[in-house]
Amino acid sequence: MPFSLRQLCQLMQINRAWYSAKHHKPDESWKQEEQVALRDEIEQIVLDFPGYGYRRVTKALQRAGRHINHKRILRIMREESLLCHLKRHFVRTTDSHHPYPVYPNLVNGYTPGAPDVI
């Protein structure tokens, strides 16, 4: 006749909660392997497309069939220093070769003696 868990724990004088916590822990090794595989996928995408940030990486992984949250991708990319750091190009906004007349600077070389005096 099989014994129940309650009867076995009573017989051995141990707590059922201790038994459940000790003997029913899930195997964590597959999670670590999955995380390493995900990090490798993210790194490969970032190497292939250096301008991709976490949003584009998330969409690329979702297109590849992985159902994953953008917050997890951002956390992983921060931990691995894979975030996109594009250098901003200088944008010149002044056009010095315009067809309009250029007026002389009237205060060039003048040193004011008091405030609000020209």
d(CA 93, CA 95): 7
pTM of the model: 0.54
Closest CA to 57 of 79, 34, 39: 39
Q: Predicted confidence band at 16 (pLDDT cuts at 50, 70, 90)?
A: confident
Tens of pLDDT, residue by residue over 23-79, are 766 667 778 888 999 999 999 999 999 889 999 999 999 999 999 999 999 999 999
**Residue labelled with tokens 């594009």:** 86
Instruction: Fill in the DSSP letter of residue 118.
Output: -
